[in-house]
Amino acid sequence: MRETNRGKNNTLPAAVSLRRIHKSFSGVEVLHGIDLDIHYGRVTALMGENGAGKSTLMNVLSGVHTDWTGSLLINGEGCRFGSPADAEAAGIAMIHQELNLVPGLSVAGNLFLGREPAGRFGRIDFTAMHRKARDIMDQLRFEPPVTAAVESLPVGQRQLVEIGKALASEAQVILMDEPTSAHSEREIDTLFTVVRQLRARGVAVVYVSHRLEEIYRIADTIAVLRDGRLVHIAETGSLTRADLVQQMIGRPEERFYEHEDARGDEIVLRVSGLSCRHPDVESRTLIRDISFDVRRGEILGIAGLLGSGRTVLLESLFGAAPGFLSGRVELEGELLEIGEPSFLMSKGMALLTEDRQRTGLIPGLSVRENYILAALLMTPSWAPLTTGDEEDRLAAAAEDLSISMADPGQPIVTLSGGNQQKVLLAKWLAIGPRLLLLDEPTRGIDVGARHDIYLLLSRLRRQGVSIIMTSSELDELIAVCDRILVLRDGRTAGVYVRTECTRDGILKAASG
Ligand SMILES: Nc1ncnc2c1ncn2[C@@H]1O[C@H](COP(=O)(O)OP(=O)(O)OP(=O)(O)O)[C@@H](O)[C@H]1O
Ligand SMILES: [Mg+2]
């Protein structure tokens, strides 16, 4: 059943009109005169490759960027915001791709930051604030207490808090920049219920995502940006997937990725009875009694819902888990002393983390420095540091993964989200790993580059690299992995061979 394209006869006025928007960073123009109308009571999808300018455009609209030219009309009236607070006062809220929460504050504190309900004597009415926060977070099926510190939450749950913050602001225009990049099906369903309620209340929603199925489920209008230009706008129902991809990447979609089995006989990793106990609550385990093995050249997928233990499992293998570990892990026949990432790196293990802001990249450093970091850590301290060589390797990796950047010396935070992700992947490949642990490797990656990453994984495993990867997208796991291990509440709910599994079977196992 179609869920989209209500209100084809679009009678509601434009909430926001953007006219001839230009925006440059240090003299390089990245938005070249954008015209776009955003309507009340509709979901407008903003689509485009990594680096196309989607986040930049939303940052113009939400007062993050102030030095742009052109005009911005809200309800027909010219506006210019000096800050995000100005935009919020005008009823525009943004859910940031790279998350914009105050780590030391609680969930409720973040939701009502700057607009805390006042009680007697002008003090904050915490009871009211917690109750309101609970109501909002319940809509999003967010389980942790609203008094929990945001920094203690994994990235998927922090995304829910970001969404909650936009709801709490009661904005009339909500900009969502990849709100679900760390979410799986159930969380997406929940979010979409909320988005539909917002739309029914007349809120204008702008939605950015690299997952095309999401767009086809939720968007009324699709606007496509390419290299900083608006190249196409259409009703969702009148734009086929193939045309959409063609508009986005400027060429037809790559042929479907073909799986090939490159597994050897040798067992590279053997895990038995791996558990991770909660650091504070003795009776709770984050993952419990997990056993599996991985062969040379195999890709093992890990599926599960938000909070099922996917990330904890990878972190446990890499010795970076948030709790107490027990169990056995053998790498190429050698029993590992689990718990020391740099030791495991020297054994050829690498972990691409899901949370690029907190554990992935070093924001103050350049693209080049972030790229060589892992390889540097592995250079023995007596060895001379060579430069020059990594410049060529970075250039080759940039080519391989189509990383779009102006200059390897630019701060990594000035790359678009998807391009940051590709640099992090390249960083781990630079150590020449034998066992790659990838937590959501295609998070925020556009359709074209995603194909490049699949081909890269394929090549790696033909070279004998074994891979364990998580993904919130089941279709991706089924397309890429040899076997899929499904987690539910920290336990193994099943292991499926690629040729014998279906989406539904896995979903059922994951949700119990
Ligand atoms: N603060 C900044 N300084 C310099 N350049 C920047 C900055 N922010 C963004 N850019 C550049 O602007 C261009 C557009 O980036 P933007 O983040 O808008 O892309 P995007 O469409 O959101 O991509 P993605 O899908 O990867 O999130 C990119 O070339 C990016 O490197
Ligand atoms: Mg972006």
Q: Is 247 in the pocket of ligand 1 (CB under 6 A)?
A: no
14-91+171-249 and 254-348+435-440+466-512 agree in CATH topology: yes
β-strand pairing of 14-25 with 28-39: antiparallel
As beta bridge partners, residue 270 has 293, 330
Q: Which CATH number fits domain 254-348+435-440+466-512: 3.40.50.150, 3.20.20.370, 3.40.50.300, 3.90.76.10?
A: 3.40.50.300
Q: What is the pLDDT along the chain (512 residues), one digit of tens a residue?
A: 334 444 444 556 689 999 999 999 989 999 999 999 999 999 999 999 999 999 999 999 999 999 999 999 999 999 999 999 999 999 999 988 777 888 889 999 999 988 888 887 788 889 999 999 999 999 888 989 999 999 888 888 888 898 899 999 989 999 999 888 778 777 888 889 989 999 998 999 999 999 999 999 999 999 999 999 999 999 999 999 999 999 998 888 776 678 888 898 999 999 999 999 988 888 888 999 999 999 999 999 999 988 899 999 999 999 888 788 899 999 999 998 777 787 888 888 999 988 777 778 888 899 999 998 887 776 655 555 555 677 888 888 888 888 888 889 999 999 988 899 889 999 988 888 999 999 999 988 888 888 888 988 999 999 999 999 999 889 899 999 999 999 999 999 999 999 888 889 999 999 88
Ligand 2 centroid–CA 96 distance in Å is 9
- Cα gap 390→423, rounded to integer Å: 13
Helix %, strand %, coil % of the chain (to 5):
35, 25, 40
- Cα gap 405→120, rounded to integer Å: 53
pLDDT of 18 reads: 96
Protein residue with its CA nearest to atom 28 in ligand 1: 51
In the structure encoding, which two tokens stand for residue 353, read together? 């983390």
- Cα gap 86→76, rounded to integer Å: 17
480 neighbors 299 (Cβ within 8 angstroms): yes
Q: Is 419 in the pocket of ligand 1 (CB under 6 A)?
A: yes
Alpha helices in 430-491 (DSSP H): 447-462, 474-480
Ligand nearest to the CA of residue 210, numbered in listed order: 1
Protein residue with its CA nearest to atom 29 in ligand 1: 51
Question: Ligand 1 pocket test: which of 56, 207, 356 has the largest number of ligand atoms within 8 Å of its C-beta?
Answer: 56
Q: Is 421 in the pocket of ligand 1 (CB under 6 A)?
A: no
What residue spans define the domains of the chain? Answer: 14-91+171-249, 254-348+435-440+466-512
- Give the distance, in angstroms, between the CA of residue 92 and the centroid of all CA atoms in the same chain: 23
pLDDT of 375 reads: 79
Q: Of 146, 143, 150, which is closest to residue 187 (Cα–Cα)?
A: 143
pLDDT of 316 reads: 93
Ligand nearest to the CA of residue 421, numbered in listed order: 1
pLDDT of 233 reads: 97
Protein residue with its CA nearest to atom 13 in ligand 1: 51
Ligand 1 atom with minimal separation from the 57 CA: 18
Q: Is 41 in the pocket of ligand 1 (CB under 6 A)?
A: no
Q: Is 415 in the pocket of ligand 1 (CB under 6 A)?
A: yes
Q: Could you tell me which CATH number the domain at 14-91+171-249 has? A: 3.40.50.300
Ligand 1 atom with minimal separation from the 54 CA: 21
Q: Is 50 in the pocket of ligand 1 (CB under 6 A)?
A: yes
Ligand nearest to the CA of residue 53, numbered in listed order: 1
pLDDT of 274 reads: 94
Ligand 1 centroid–CA 405 distance in Å is 9
Protein residue with its CA nearest to atom 24 in ligand 1: 50
pLDDT of 24 reads: 96
Show Cβ contacts of residue 480 under 8 Å, excluding neighbours closer than 6 positions: 257, 259, 299, 301, 454, 457, 469, 471
- Cα gap 415→365, rounded to integer Å: 12
Q: List b or e across 380-398, with b for residues whose CB sees 16 or more CB atoms inside 10 angstroms.
A: eeeeeeeeeebeeebeebb
Ligand nearest to the CA of residue 449, numbered in listed order: 1
- Cα gap 374→369, rounded to integer Å: 10
pTM of the model: 0.86
Ligand nearest to the CA of residue 50, numbered in listed order: 1
Q: Is 492 in the pocket of ligand 1 (CB under 6 A)?
A: no
Q: Is 46 in the pocket of ligand 1 (CB under 6 A)?
A: no
